[in-house]
Structure 1
Amino acid sequence: MDILEVINARRNIKKFKSDEVSLGRIEHWLQAGTMAPNHRMTEPWEVYFIGEETRAQLNHKSNFCNAPVVLAVLSKHGATDFETFENALASACFVQNFNLAAWAEGVGTFWSSIGSSPRSRAILGVPEGYDVIGIFGVGYPEEIKEPKERTSITEKIKHLS
């Protein structure tokens, strides 16, 4: 698939097969994530692989859609509020690169914001000075839904003089 096909085909997966995904493949896609733009090369992201005990403690309503792998992506705060904001944006770009690299090889993700709650942060052991960008289920899709309708970009463009 070319990049536009990957972008247009990618979905948030809500039902995974139980087939394992190798750690080597996941690390390969995470490495692709590191090519994300990040201001002043801060590389603010950190990745936590979540084991069964921690996953059970998080008690996500769908158990991360029964994905065989669950990981969290964190973003380190910067020296200023603005740098912290930039780091969060860079970490979201890291996640998107990871998601697209995995999708290009037939593996999907489910993005949950549960990690940002104080309870989840405590369970994950997130240190002060970090934000949780998301917790991700990773695996082979059992089901791929049709895309939801999107607003045309022409309705979102403003031309300034």
Structure 2
Amino acid sequence: MNILENIYSRRNIKKFKPDMVEPEQINKWLEAGTMAPNHKMTQPWEVYMIGSETRTKLNHKTNFCQAPVVLAILSKHGSTEIETYENVLATACFVQNVNLAAWAEGVGTFWSSMGNAAKNREIMGIPDGYDVIGVFGFGYPEEISQPKERTSIQEKMKYLP
């Protein structure tokens, strides 16, 4: 699959098969994530592997769509407000690299934003000075939804003189 096919076909998965994803695969995708652009090589991302006990305590409304693997991806705050902002952007690029690398090998992801809630930060032991970019389920898709219609990029472009 070429990169454009990968980008256009990737979906947020809402139903996973129970088949386990090998840790070596996940590590490979996370390594690919580290190739994301990041200002001044801050490499601000941290990854928490969520075990069954923590997953139960998080009590996600869909149990991460039954994904066999769950990760939390964090972004470390910078020493300034702008550096913190840049770190969040870099971590989002990290996430996209990981998602696309997994998708290229037939593994989908489910992105939940519930990780930054105070209760969930406490459950996961997230220290001050970090933002939780997302909690992600990883697994082989049971079903893949059709793409939702997108606004044409032409409607989103501004041409400056």
State the partner residue of 1:136.
136
State the partner residue of 1:106.
106
State the partner residue of 2:31.
31
Q: Distance in 2 between matches of 1:52 and 1:2?
A: 35
TM-score by length of 1: 1.00
Q: Distance in 2 between matches of 1:7 and 1:132?
A: 24
Q: Distance in 1 between matches of 2:18 and 2:62?
A: 15
State the partner residue of 2:94.
94
Deviation per CA, 1:58-85: give whole Å up to 9, x if none: 0000000000000000000000010000
Structure 2 unmatched runs, 5+: none
* SS of residue matched to 1:48: strand
Structure 1 unmatched runs, 5+: none
State the partner residue of 2:42.
42
Q: Distance in 2 between matches of 1:145 and 1:25?
A: 24
Q: Distance in 2 between matches of 1:45 and 1:102?
A: 18
CA positional deviation for 1:141: 0.2
State the partner residue of 2:152.
152
| Identical counterparts, % of pairs | 71
TM-score by length of 2: 1.00
Superposed, 1:73-92 pairs within 5 Å as 73-92=73-92
Structure 1 runs, 4 residues or longer, greater than 3 Å off: none
Aligned length: 161
Deviation per CA, 1:2-37: give whole Å up to 9, x if none: 000000000000000000000000000000000000
1:117 matched to 2:117:
yes
CA positional deviation for 1:131: 0.4
CA positional deviation for 1:89: 0.4
User: Over the residues paired in the alignment, what is the CA RMSD in angstroms?
Assistant: 0.3
State the partner residue of 2:68.
68
